[in-house]
Amino acid sequence: MSSETKQILTTDGIPLEVSLKKAERKNKIKAFLLVAPLLFFLIITYVFPIGDMLFRSVDDKMVTQMLPKTFKAMETWDGQELPEEEVFAAFHEDFIKLVEDKREGKLSTQLNYTKNGFKSIIKKLRRKSKSFEEGNYKEQIMSVHKRWADVEYWRAIKRRAPEFTSQKYLKGMDMYVNEEGKIVSVEEDRRIHRVLWLRTLEIAFFVTVFCFLMAYPIAHLLATLPMKYSNLLMICVLLPFWTSLLVRTASWMILLQQQGIVNDFFVGIGLVSDDNRPEMMYNKTGSYVAMTQILLPFMVLPLYSVMKTISPSLMRAGKSLGGTPFVAFWKVYFPLTIPGIGAGCLLVFILAIGYYITPALVGGASGTLISNQIAFHMKSTLDWSFASAMGLMLLSGVLVIYWLYNKIVGIDNIKLG
Amino acid sequence: MSVNKEFVKFDKVDKSYDGKVLVVKDLQLDIAEGEFITMLGPSGSGKTTCLMMLAGFETPTNGEIYLDGNAISSIPPHKRGIGMVFQNYALFPHMTVYENLAFPLRVRKIPKDEADKKIDKALSMVSLQGFASRMPGQLSGGQQQRVAVARSLVFDPQLVLMDEPLGALDKNLRESMQYEIKHIHESIGVTVVYVTHDQSEALTMSNRIAVFNDGKVQQLSSPDELYEKPVNSFVAEFIGENNTFTGEVADISGQKCKVKLANAEIMANPISVKSKGERTKVSLRPERALINPKDKMDNIHNGKIEEVIYHGDHTRVRINLLGNPEFILKVPNSSANLDIKLGNEIKIGWNSEDARALDPK
């Protein structure tokens, strides 16, 4: 079709397409210049850090660079028996260099991540290596400590040869690569991350459900009340937005603690006895209550914006055609609010899955989420690569949910306002 | 079979939203079975409120509404079995045309094959066969309107309410839809209560028209009577075009009265004036006044042509007559021999019978 149609020319004889592009170029440049600052800002504050995080979570160059000669010598080693003398010699050479730079401590920390027991034998090796004679390093090193004569420890060193590693991700799933190079789960009593992942999903799911149950009637009321009242109600919904997150969480602490207002009230009306006050914070309940309240506006607003567009005459039509109020609601009103429900649930779920301050303050031990674990590794153990790995796992989890949502409901169906 | 004259009965109905202002005042209205009645009035006159009370979306503050002899104030809308066409059609946007029409049948648990027959019938009534699987968003305004009408009729209600259903359509479409709705009404004999603020719509479609103003029915009568014989100056001015003279009754005797204007006297038909000295507004339809009348008429006066506007089938002439600079005449284009030119003095005459002396409001 297009090949048959004649090229359309403007009155001046220039092809129409060329002329149109020329006319629009200026506008395009203007539009780009307007968004350029934001674009650069996003690249600097968002794309770079995430890229860096991704890199950090798989980066394992440190050991590779500390023991370059050792790993070169190990290339031909099959890992069955103890390595040959040349490997020991190369290791000795690398090690002396590290001691000169005072970096052997870092090596011991890194190797200890891979296998427990490296710390002490590296310390011992440093002391003894000062009196090493030239030649026959295998014998000399093996005599420092019996673990140096254990092939397991040499295999552990070899496992650190690659520049990139997936071990942080495995650790996030409570798994590791064992001596035979197979991926296995850690012992049951040491699995902490899987529990946290499941709990994070569980809390995010229920917070979404609670938010939905509470927000739907509020949003409906907001959308149907006369302007005078709905404005006031809207302010009440938005008021938490204008209050600091920390203040809101702290006020929940005041309300929910065992000697707090809610408990006093329960005791006052005789619902519970004074010496049997329920624990409502520093556990899951605390996380549920506080997170639901804090995330509620994110559910109300998309629902409201969708409900606002639904003409009240639709419900009336449903009723006048013979539908009971419930049928009119369920068959007419509810299906029309699905885009808002989708948007609200997605928003609340994604926010809840990465929630941090509130669970840290009111969640206690049984109410903390995976993001608290990430923060713990960022601040306390300083294992940033592990924190990055878990952060990325969280991010990909969110993307999977987004993808699933798109498959099931369709992302075009979403309406945020 | 006698027709139920009081199929719908508004009995002393008052309605107030805020407890301060009455939107509907002491409404007394009987609607016969099979009738096409229109509630006509300016916006805020209470006509839509009346419709909503009948549909069950508003409750009367006082009084009672009867449908076929039964008081319905306490019956919820979905049990009244009244079809309704809304202002903006209120088609369910997430359902196809078929599903929209099936909705009232499904909630009534009508078997599918019977429902399909009814839907086919309703769609053919509004000539929309073959549109069953379309979504409302894929239809034009006129087609959506037809679907809304079909949906309100598909479950065979005895009463259908229409709330300014043609308001969103353009002029040509509106006119053709008017005839279509009128024909549907004639062919199935359903009772229709129709609300509009468009007087031409009311005049073409209805058996009777109730003119609303200020919460009250000003006049309830057939279209021709409403136009020819308005009972007060509001109706006279609201329906059609109207020339008025304000003055004082100088003399009254039987079917005639003399009205004294600022600097002239005219003869009129006393409708709502009773005695000498009363203030009055005399209303005269433009087409009742003639230029250079050949017959003998009891009002003949001279006026000066101020403006001539060509309207295709007729020409509107604005004349300064007896101190009224807004006096309008409609001259059919066949009478082209008349000397209608700007600034000319012409003779204008009318019968006192057509000049109705109404209340001075």
Q: Is residue B24 in a domain? A: yes
pLDDT score of A212:
95
Per the structure, the complete domain to which residue B141 belongs is given by: 8-233
Euclidean distance between CA atoms A291 and A294, whole angstroms: 5
Kindly state the tokens that stand for A60: 């394992």
The Cα–Cα gap between A42 and A51 comes to: 13
For B150, name the nearest residue in chain A, comparing CA atoms only: A321
Find chain B residues with C-beta within 8 A of A325's C-beta: 76, 78
Cα separation, B80 vs B54, whole angstroms: 9
Q: How far B10 CA sits from the closest chain A CA (Å)?
A: 19
- Distance CA(A401)–CA(B6), nearest Å, equals 62
Task: With respect to residue A73, please indicate whether it lies within any of the assigned structural domains.
Answer: yes
- Determine, for residues A332 and B92 on separate chains, whether the beta-carbon distance falls below 8 Å: yes
B272 and B163 belong to one structural domain: no
Q: Is B75 in the same domain as B213?
A: yes
Do A155 and A201 share a domain, yes or no?
no
Q: Which of A313, A320, A326 to mutate to test the interface with B (most CBs of B within 10 A)?
A: A320
Q: Which domain holds residue A146?
A: 61-163
Q: Are residues B248 and B338 in the same domain?
A: yes
- Calpha distance B194→B163 (Å, rounded): 6
**Residue A229 sits in the same domain as residue A140:** no
CA atoms within a 13 Å half-sphere pointing along the CA-CB vector of A340: 26
In chain B, the number of structural domains is 2
CATH at residue B292 = 2.40.50.100
Q: Please report whether residue B3 resides in a domain.
A: no
Phi, psi torsion values for B345, nearest 5 degrees: -95, 130
List the single residue in A with minimal CA-CA distance to B57. A316
Question: How far is the C-alpha of B34 from the C-alpha of B185, rounded, in Å?
Answer: 8
pLDDT tens-place string over residues B199-246: 888 888 899 999 988 888 888 989 888 888 888 888 888 888 888 888
> Cβ B78–A328 below 8 Å, yes or no?
yes
Long-range contacts of A328-335, Cβ-Cβ distance < 8 Å, separation of 24 or more: A328/B78, A331/B92, A331/B103, A332/B92, A335/B94
Strands B324-332 and B314-321: antiparallel
Query: From the list A317, A323, A336, which residue is nearest B86 (CB)?
Result: A317
Give the 3-state secondary structure of residue B34. coil
Residue B66 included in any domain: yes
Query: pLDDT band at residue B333, thresholds of 50, 70 and 90?
Result: confident
B192/B262 same-domain check = no
Residue B312 lies in a domain: yes
Number of domains present in the structure of chain A = 2
Q: Are A344 and A212 in contact (CB under 8 A)?
A: yes
Select from B55, B57, B54 the least CA-distant residue to B29: B54
- The answer to whether the CB atoms of A323 and B93 lie below 8 A apart is no
> Is residue B246 domain-resident?
yes
B206 in a domain, yes or no?
Answer: yes
Domain annotation covers residue A178:
no
Q: Is residue A237 part of a domain?
A: yes
Residues A201 and A271 placed together within one structural domain of the fold: yes
In a domain, A29, yes or no: no
Per-residue pLDDT of chain A (417 residues; tens, 9 = 90+): 444 456 777 777 788 888 888 888 988 999 999 999 999 999 999 889 888 888 888 888 888 888 888 888 888 888 788 888 888 888 888 888 888 888 888 888 888 877 888 888 888 888 888 888 887 888 888 888 888 888 888 888 888 888 888 888 888 888 887 767 778 888 877 788 888 899 899 999 999 999 999 999 999 999 988 888 888 988 888 887 788 888 888 888 888 888 888 888 888 888 888 888 888 888 888 888 888 988 999 999 999 999 988 988 899 899 989 888 899 999 999 999 988 898 899 889 989 988 888 888 888 777 788 888 888 888 888 888 888 888 888 888 889 888 888 887 776 666 655
Chain B residues closer than 8 Å to A324 by CB? 78, 107
CA A414 to chain centroid: 23
CA dist., res. A33 & res. B42, Å (int): 53
My answer on whether B83 and B141 are in the same domain is: yes
pLDDT at A3: 47
Name the token pair of A103: 């970096």
From A54, A105, A102, select the one nearest A391 (Cα to Cα). A54
B22 and B98 both lie in a single domain: yes
Q: Are A262 and A324 within one domain?
A: yes
Is A235 inside a domain boundary? yes
Q: Is A282 helix (H, G, I), strand (E, B) or coil?
A: coil
Q: How far is B77 from chain A (nearest CA, A)?
A: 6
In a domain, B83, yes or no: yes
State how beta strands B356-358 and B265-270 pair.
parallel
Of A317, A323, A332, the CB nearest to B84: A317
Partners of A413 on chain B (C-beta within 8 Å) are: none
Cβ A317–B94 below 8 Å, yes or no? no
Same domain, A215 and A159: no
For residue A322, being part of any structural domain is answered with: yes
Instruction: Looking at the structure, tell me whether residues A279 and A396 fall in a common domain.
Output: yes
How many angstroms away from the CA of A306 is the closest CA of chain B?
A: 14
Q: What pLDDT is stored for residue A29 in this prediction?
A: 92
CB contacts, 8 Å: B57 with chain A? 316, 319
Write the CATH number for B176.
Answer: 3.40.50.300
Show which of B176, B208, B233 is a domain's final residue.
Answer: B233
What does the alpha-carbon distance between residue B236 and residue B272 come to, in Å, rounded to a whole number?
13
Verify that A213 and A309 share a domain, yes or no.
Answer: yes
B278 and B221 in a single domain? The answer is no
Distance between CA B85 and CA B104 in Å, rounded? 13
| Residue where one domain finishes, among candidates A163, A183, A209 | A163
A361: CATH: 1.10.3720.10
Distance (Å, rounded) from C-alpha A387 to C-alpha A354?
Answer: 13
Q: What is the spatial distance between Cα A127 and Cα A149, in angstroms, rounded to a whole number?
A: 17
Distance of residue A311 Cα from the nearest chain B Cα, in angstroms: 8
Q: Of A125, A145, A163, which one is at a domain's C-terminal end? A: A163
Task: For chain B, give percent helix, strand, coil, nearest 5.
Answer: 25, 35, 40
Neighbours of A149 (CB within 10 A): 15
Instruction: List chain A residues with CB under 8 Å of B99.
Output: none
Instruction: Decide if A55 is inside a domain.
Output: no
Contact (Cβ atoms closer than 8 angstroms) between residue B11 and residue B28: yes
H-type alpha helices, A3-136: 16-42, 48-58, 61-66, 68-74, 85-100, 104-114, 118-129
Residue A315 and residue A329 in contact, taking contact as beta carbons nearer than 8 Å: yes
Q: Which residues of A touch B156 (CB under 8 A)?
A: none
- Two structure tokens written together for B100: 């929209």
| Main-chain phi, psi angles of A289, to 5 degrees | -60, -55
* Same domain, yes or no: B211 and B276: no
In the listed set B207, B233, B259, which residue is the last one of a domain according to the structure? B233
Show residues of chain A in contact with B82, CB under 8 Å.
320
On chain A, the residues whose CB falls within 8 A of the CB of B161 are 320
How far away is chain B from the Cα of A1, in angstroms, using its nearest Cα?
Answer: 28
Of residues A316, A323, A336, nearest to B93 (C-beta):
A336
Taking the model in full, what pTM does it have? 0.77
- Quick check: is A173 in a domain? no
Structure tokens, A284 = 């899951």
- Measured between CA atoms, the residue of chain B closest to residue A339 is B94
Residue B192, beta-bridge partner list: B36, B160
Contacts for A74 with CB less than 8 Å, ≥ 6 apart? A83, A87, A157, A158, A161
Residues B210 and B291 in one domain: no
* Domain stop point among A118, A144, A163: A163
Task: Identify residues of A whose CB sits under 8 angstroms from chain B CBs.
Answer: 311, 313-314, 316-325, 327-328, 331-332, 335-336
